A and B are shown apart, each in its own frame.
Chain A
Amino acid sequence: MKLLTHNMLACHIKGVKNNFPFMIEVTKVETCDADYDPEFLRHMFPRIVWPAFLQGAEQMGCRDGLPEAATEEMLQEDTFLKKFHHALLEVRLQEGALVCPETGRKFPVSKGIPNLLLTEDEC
């Protein structure tokens, strides 16, 4: 699972208000190559919640070189874009769990697939 996906996911247990972002529990992280596309990064940037992204990057161990706060101007710098691209798309969680920030419910991630199924009393 990429940090891009992590940034989009929110806990959907019924009644949970503080549902974003998921905490990441890491057992195994892998790095895969992905096509570098600055246009896509610029397109997605306004939609990324930066603090959540940083927190995810921290937990996945790829926080290095990412600024505390990012601005639109930085999107013109190639060095920043490369780092952003790497953390957003190339570092992937293989084994671990996503933890709901409110209830602490763990959603296991195995083979890179988060299991977001709910039990009957959660939906």
Chain B
Amino acid sequence: MGKGERPEHTAPPEIFYNEDEARKYTSNSRMIEIQSSLTERAVELLALPDDGVPKMLLDVGCGSGLSGEQLTELGQMWVGFDISPAMLDVAVEREVEGDVCLHDMGHGMPLRPGTFDGAISISAVQWLCNADKSSHDPRKRLKRFFETLYAALRRGARAVLQVYPENASQAEMMVAAAMKVGFSGGLVVDFPHSTRAKKYFLVLMVGTSTYIPQAKGLNGEDSNEERSEVKVHGRGSNKKRKMGDGKGSKGKEWIFKKKEQMRKRGHTDIPLDTKYTGRKRRHIT
């Protein structure tokens, strides 16, 4: 995938994540790093009670189980869902701990109500905003997904969905769809001032919660990944265009020249040129 190209525009997910892509995805150390750091952050935002008991989590769009492995490492139990058979095959080959199911989230989650302690999703839900078949209606699919997700979670549970919205209206569409079915919460944006490190997390809660998620990098700091890569070509340098001698006036010479010009044009009310011309006026108190 080239820079600036979105996989959603290339092909439907079950076709885009074919065997090649699945293997590439799982053997690429950069991908693994990004996925696991996103998962870590998502779990942080889930704010599970810290009592040492493994929780039952849902991983929507689990892919080849990179995020799931991270969950296992954190001592959680999970069940994953994904639409790409190739990705799931890789997950099984890698012997991930959680069970994985082939499933389209736009059809709604096939789960019994009130069974899960939380849900995460890494870079998956934005796929719902695309219509890949004539029968697909993004709004309906989002609604179906969110209402069944809501039902599957226990009271007080959270869902943290990391998404890559294409534009503001897409983000709005996802948030609105979630709010409509009863979730509370909203969008948390990490590193909002950076283009590449910026990450969107849809933090949704079932029922009320006193916990308020805090975005990272609000005061302009960047993630490590970002700091090493980005050079700033700000507009700032243009602003400092040289103006005269920098004292805010154009100088005596310039005033004499202008006065001379005006006299030549026939103006008679031009003050005389003296040693006081162009001097700053003193304030009279």
Contact = CB atoms under 8 A, between A and B. Distances in A.
A43 B54 contact: yes
Contacts of A11: 110
B270 interface: no
A37 B116 contact: no
A44 B115 CA distance: 9
Interface stretch (B98-106, B160-168, B210-218, B250-258): B98-106
Given A9-B101, A12-B107, A47-B115, 10 more contacts: A8-B112, A9-B111, A39-B53, A40-B77, A43-B56, A49-B112, A111-B89, A113-B101, A116-B102, A116-B110
Contacts of B102: 113-117
A5 B52 CA distance: 21
Interface string A5-19: 101111110000000
B103 A8 contact: no
A120 B134 CA distance: 10
Interface in B21-73: 52-56
B95 to A, nearest CB: 9
B110 A111 contact: no
A44 B55 CA distance: 8
Interface of A: 1-2, 4-5, 7-12, 20, 34, 37, 39-40, 43-44, 47, 49, 111-118, 120, 122-123
Contact of B99 (A1, A10, A117, A120): A1
Contacts of A2: 99
Given A8-B111, A37-B54, A111 B104 contact: no
Given A40-B77, A114-B102, A9 B52 contact: no
Contacts of B135: 120
B104 A12 contact: no
Contacts of A10: 110-112
B109 interface: yes
Q: Contact size class for B?
A: 20 to 34
Contacts of A120: 133, 135
A119 B111 CA distance: 18
Contacts of A113: 85, 88-89, 92, 100-102
Nearest to B93: A111
A5 B99 contact: yes
Nearest to A112: B92
Contacts of A115: 101-102
Given A12-B107, A12-B110, A40-B77, A116 B52 contact: no
Nearest to B135: A120
B123 interface: no
Given A11-B110, A43-B53, A116 B103 contact: yes
Contact of B56 (A12, A44, A116, A117): A44
Given A114-B101, A116-B102, A120-B135, A8 B107 contact: no
A97 to B, nearest CB: 13
A114 B97 CA distance: 15
Contact of A12 (B53, B88, B109): B109
A112 B104 contact: no
B79 interface: yes
A123 to B, nearest CB: 4
21 contacts: A2-B99, A4-B77, A8-B56, A8-B111, A9-B101, A9-B110, A10-B110, A20-B112, A34-B97, A39-B53, A39-B54, A40-B53, A49-B112, A112-B100, A114-B101, A114-B102, A115-B101, A117-B107, A118-B107, A120-B135, A123-B107
B126 interface: no
A95 B178 CA distance: 36
